Structure formats: structure tokens, C-alpha cells
Amino acid sequence: MTALIFIISSLLHLLVLVFLLRVLLPLCAVDYRHPFSVAVLRLTNPLILPMRRLLPAIGRIDTASWTALLLIQLTSTLLISTLSGNTPHSIGPFLWMSIRGLLSILLQFYLFVLMLHAVMSWMAPTDDSPATSVLRSLSAPILKPFQRFIPRIAGLDFSVLFALIAIQALLILIGT
């Protein structure tokens, strides 16, 4: 049963991650013509497009994408907690489990993105490949605050290191 819960949990986390990317890509100004962006759009459009009829955008906020992300996360939390026998008996703990799960996925995603960004910057610092542009766009909002306070030392950018430490501390803080 534990292996089945692991498999279902992993698949649901991937689903949440795809919808999280649907929210993050426009916020990070990732090019919609990039194959990665196109894949995310195609995977999420079956749910997002019908929701847009009911939930139009408010300014630059795509309410349909945000609502879909939250609904997918709430459903995922309910399913995983029910399968593992940890179903909360009130709405407060259930909402906290859902928010903590979504934050955990977001922070773990950024750990991965920042590590890839660091490795790519060491191997090909001047590379302008499409993958590098997506990594730069996704990591820029996280790295810019650190880059303001941490100067480059001998041409090396240590802001990634401090961003990774901060993300790890946040993961510990939320208890994952």
C-alpha cells in the first residue's frame, strides 16, 4: 500500500507542478513560443480554457489558472491524506496541509531550477540556448533580491548559494 501511495502522490505532485508552471511562466516572463511553455499550455488548457468562461482575468492575474492550481492542490491533498489514513477532521488543518504542500512543491521546484541554473552557468556561461533562457527567466525573480546585496567576487555569483540556503530554511520552517 505504501508503494501505491508513493506512486499516486508522485503523479499528483507532477500534476500540481504543471499547473504551478502555468501560473509561474507568465509571472517570470517566459516566452510562450518556447516548446516548454507550449507543453505546459497544452497540458493545462483542457481545464483552464473552460474555467476562463466563468473566471475572467483580473488585470494581469489569470484567475482561472490560479483557481485551477488551488483546486488541483486541494484535491491532491484530500486524495493523498485519505489514502494514507491522515484525513483531517476540520477545514483548518486540511487547508494548512494543502498550503504547505503547495509551498513545498514550489520551493522544491525552485531548488531544482536554481541548481540547474548554477550548473548551466558554470558549463556554458554565455550559452543562449532556449533551455538556458527559460532557466534564467524562472530563476531571475528569486536571484535578483540576493544579487542586490551579494556582490560578485572574482566574477563568481554567490547569490545562487544564498538563495538555495534560504529556500532550504523555508522548507524546514514549513515542516516538510
Q: What is the pLDDT of residue 72?
A: 96
As a whole number, mean pLDDT of residues 89-103 equals 90
If one counts the domains in the chain, the total is: 1
| Structural domain span for residue 151 | 2-174
Residue 107, pLDDT score: 96
- 110: confidence class by pLDDT, cuts 50, 70, 90: very high
Question: Residue 56, exposed/middle/buried by CB under 10 A (0-12, 13-18, 19+)?
Answer: exposed
Reported pTM: 0.88
**pLDDT above 80: residue 131:** no
Query: Helices marked H in the chain — which ranges?
Result: 2-27, 35-54, 63-84, 91-123, 130-149, 159-174
